[in-house]
Amino acid sequence: MEARLEAARINQGGSVDAQRLERAMGELALATKTLQRLMVEKGAARTTSSGTRS
């Protein structure tokens, strides 16, 4: 939601498309999660008891 508000603010004076920005951020989040999962599977990182990766 914060990204949408920021994009709307920028869009008034610029050319940021809020829907494209949200989609790109979602894709980046999914890619990051996938990379973290693969690192854990390969042993390059581990999951802590709190569920975070280190």
pLDDT at residue 30, rounded to an integer: 95
Q: How confident is the model at residue 47 (pLDDT cuts 50, 70, 90)?
A: low
43/38 Cα distance (integer angstroms): 8
Which among 30, 7, 2 is positioned nearest to 20, based on CA atoms? Answer: 7
pLDDT digits (tens, 9 = 90+) for 1-42: 677 777 666 666 666 677 888 889 999 999 999 999 999 888
SS3 47: strand
> pTM value?
0.54
- CB distance 7 to 20 below 8 Å: no
pLDDT: is 14 or 46 the higher one?
Answer: 46
pLDDT at residue 8, rounded to an integer: 67
Using the Cα atoms of residue 40, residue 41, residue 47 and residue 52 in order, give the sign of their dihedral: positive
